[in-house]
Amino acid sequence: MTKTVSAKAVSEDDVQKIIALAKDAHVQELSLHEGSMHVRVVLTREAEASRNAPQGFAEVNNLMEVVAPLAAQFLPHHPCHPNSGVRVGQSVRRGDLIGFLLSGPLLTPLVSPCNGVISQLLAEPNMRVGYGTALVSIAKKI
Amino acid sequence: MNTRFSAFSKLKDQANISLLGTTAMLFEAPGAFELPTQKRIWALADEVQGWDNIKEAIPGMTNLMLTFRSPCEDPSELRNRLIAAWEKATDWKIEGKLIEIPVIYGGELGPHLHDAAKLTNMSVDELVAVHANRDYSVFALGAHPGLGYLGITDERIWVPRREVPVLSIPAGSVSIGGMQTAVSASPGASGWHTLGHTDVEFFFPHKENPTLLSPGDTVRFRVERIIP
Amino acid sequence: MIKISYTIGLSTIQDLGRDENYRHGVSIGGAMDRLALQMGNALLGNAKTAAAIEVTLFPIKFEILSSVNIAVTGADCAIELDGKQINPNWAFHAEKGQTLSLSKLNSGSFAYVHLAGGIDVPEVLGSRSTYLRCAFGGLDGRMLQNGDVIKSLPEADPFPPIAPGGFGAISPALALPQPSHASVGTNDAITMLRYLPAAEHDYFDKASLDALVTAPWQITPQSSRAGYRLAGPNLAMTDKLEMRSHGIVPGVIQVPPGGAPIIQTADSQTSGGYPKIGTVIDADMWRLAQTRIGNQICFQKTSYEEALAAYREMNKFIDKVRALSKAYRDLLK
Q: Would residue A108 count as lying in a domain?
A: yes
Look at residues B37, B211, B201 and name the one whose alpha carbon lies nearest to residue B141. Answer: B211
ipTM above 0.85?
A: yes
Q: Can you give the pLDDT at residue A54?
A: 46
Residue C88: its chain A contacts at CB < 8 A? 78, 80
The minimum CA-CA distance between C181 and chain A, rounded to whole Å, is: 23
Q: Can you give the pLDDT at residue C183?
A: 84
Q: Can you give the pLDDT at residue B214?
A: 94
Distances (CA, A) of C8 to B106, C84, C218: 39, 23, 26
B144 interface with C at CB cutoff 8 Å: yes
* Beta carbons within 10 angstroms of residue B77's beta carbon: 10
Q: How far apart are CA B69 and CA C19, in angstroms?
A: 9
Question: Which domains occur in chain C, in start order?
Answer: 2-170+316-332 (no CATH), 190-302 (2.40.100.10)
C126 within 8 A of C100, measured Cβ to Cβ: no
Q: How far apart are CA A15 and CA A30, in angstroms?
A: 11
Whether C178 has a pLDDT exceeding 60, the answer reads: yes
Length of chain A: 142
Q: Would residue B84 count as lying in a domain?
A: yes
Together in a domain, A65 and A121: yes
C-alpha A60, offset from chain centre: 18
C153 within 8 A of C119, measured Cβ to Cβ: yes
**Which residues does C286 contact at the CB level (< 8 Å), separation at least 6?**
C33, C34, C35, C36, C172
| CATH code: domain of residue B178 | 2.40.100.10
Together in a domain, A60 and A39: no
Q: How confident is the model at residue B153 (pLDDT cuts 50, 70, 90)?
A: very high
Q: How far apart are CA C4 and CA C20, in angstroms?
A: 32
| CATH code: domain of residue A61 | 2.40.50.100
pLDDT, one tens digit per residue, over B117-149 is 999 999 999 999 999 999 999 999 998 999 999
Together in a domain, A36 and A66: no
C324–A105 C-beta distance less than 8 A? yes
Whether B105 has a pLDDT exceeding 90, the answer reads: yes
C282–B22 C-beta distance less than 8 A? yes
Look at residues B21, B5, B79, B2 and name the one whose alpha carbon lies nearest to residue B48. Answer: B79
Q: How far apart are CA C290 and CA C33, in angstroms?
A: 7
Q: Can you give the pLDDT at residue A138?
A: 94
Together in a domain, A35 and A91: no
A43 within 8 A of A28, measured Cβ to Cβ: yes
Interface test mutation site (partner C, options B5, B8, B23, max chain C beta carbons within 10 A): B23
Q: Would residue B93 count as lying in a domain?
A: no
**Which residues does A49 contact at the CB level (< 8 Å), separation at least 6?**
none
Together in a domain, B35 and B64: yes
For chain A, the first-to-last Cα distance in angstroms comes to 40
Q: Would residue A28 count as lying in a domain?
A: yes
Q: How far apart are CA C235 and CA C261, in angstroms?
A: 8
- Once rounded to an integer, what is the mean pLDDT over residues C186-214? 95
- Once rounded to an integer, what is the mean pLDDT over residues C59-83? 97
Chains B and A touch (3+ CB pairs under 8 A): no
**Which residues does C236 contact at the CB level (< 8 Å), separation at least 6?**
C204, C205, C207, C208, C259
Q: Can you give the pLDDT at residue A3?
A: 39
Length of chain B: 228
Q: How far apart are CA C267 and CA C276, in angstroms?
A: 18
Look at residues B31, B39, B26, B27 and name the one whose alpha carbon lies nearest to residue B14. Answer: B31
pLDDT, one tens digit per residue, over B37-68 is 999 999 999 999 999 999 999 999 999 999 99
| CATH code: domain of residue B68 | 3.30.1360.40
* Positions of chain A with pLDDT lower than 50, given as ranges: 1-9, 44-54
The minimum CA-CA distance between A109 and chain C, rounded to whole Å, is: 6
Domain residues for the domain of A15 are: 2-43
Q: Would residue A109 count as lying in a domain?
A: yes
Together in a domain, B64 and B109: no
Together in a domain, B29 and B140: no
Q: Would residue B185 count as lying in a domain?
A: yes
How is C19-47 classified by DSSP, letter by letter?
-S-GGGT----S-SSHHHHHHHHHHHT--
- Candidate from C163, C168, C320 with C-beta closest to A104: C320
pLDDT, one tens digit per residue, over C90-132 is 999 999 999 999 999 999 999 999 999 999 999 999 999 999 9
Domain residues for the domain of B138 are: 98-227
A64 within 8 A of A114, measured Cβ to Cβ: yes
Together in a domain, A7 and A76: no
Closest residue in chain B to residue C285, using alpha carbons only: B21
E-strand ranges in C65-177 read: 68-81, 84-86, 90-94, 99-115, 149-150, 167-169
Q: Would residue A48 count as lying in a domain?
A: no
How is A38-103 classified by DSSP, letter by letter?
EEEEE--HHHHHGGGSSSEEEEETTEEEEE-SSSEEEESS-TT-TT----TT-EE-TT-EEEEEEE
Q: How confident is the model at residue C313 (pLDDT cuts 50, 70, 90)?
A: very high
Chains that touch A (3 or more CB pairs under 8 A): C
Distances (CA, A) of B126 to A107, B2, B201, C251: 71, 18, 27, 43
Tell me how many helices (H) and strands (E) chain C has: 5, 19
Q: Would residue A129 count as lying in a domain?
A: yes
Domain boundary among B62, B88, B114: B88
Q: How far apart are CA C278 and CA B20, in angstroms?
A: 7
> How many domains would you assign to chain A?
2
Together in a domain, B104 and B79: no
**Which residues does B118 contact at the CB level (< 8 Å), separation at least 6?**
none
Residue C137: its chain B contacts at CB < 8 A? 205
Domain boundary among B44, B70, B88: B88
Q: Can you give the pLDDT at residue B90?
A: 86
A102–C175 C-beta distance less than 8 A? no
Does residue A138 have a cis bond before it (omega within 30 degrees)? Answer: no
> How many domains would you assign to chain B?
2
Together in a domain, B81 and B103: no
Together in a domain, B169 and B203: yes
Domain boundary among B48, B63, B88: B88
Together in a domain, A59 and A38: no
Together in a domain, A29 and A99: no
pLDDT, one tens digit per residue, over C210-254 is 999 999 999 999 999 999 999 999 999 998 777 889 999 999 999
Together in a domain, B39 and B133: no
Together in a domain, A120 and A79: yes
Q: Can you give the pLDDT at residue A59?
A: 75
Q: Would residue A84 count as lying in a domain?
A: yes
Together in a domain, A72 and A34: no
Residue C38: its chain A contacts at CB < 8 A? none
C196 interface with B at CB cutoff 8 Å: yes
Together in a domain, B81 and B121: no
A35 within 8 A of A56, measured Cβ to Cβ: no
Chains A and C touch (3+ CB pairs under 8 A): yes
C281–B28 C-beta distance less than 8 A? no
Q: Can you give the pLDDT at residue C188?
A: 83
Q: How confident is the model at residue C156 (pLDDT cuts 50, 70, 90)?
A: confident
Could you give the angle at the alpha carbon of C238 between the alpha carbons of C234 and C244, nearest 5°? Answer: 90
Q: Can you give the pLDDT at residue B12?
A: 60
C-alpha A64, offset from chain centre: 14
Together in a domain, B175 and B193: yes
Together in a domain, A107 and A132: yes
Together in a domain, B126 and B180: yes
pLDDT > 70 fraction of chain C, expressed in percent and rounded: 100
At C268, the amino acid letter reads: S
Q: Would residue B201 count as lying in a domain?
A: yes
Together in a domain, A85 and A118: yes
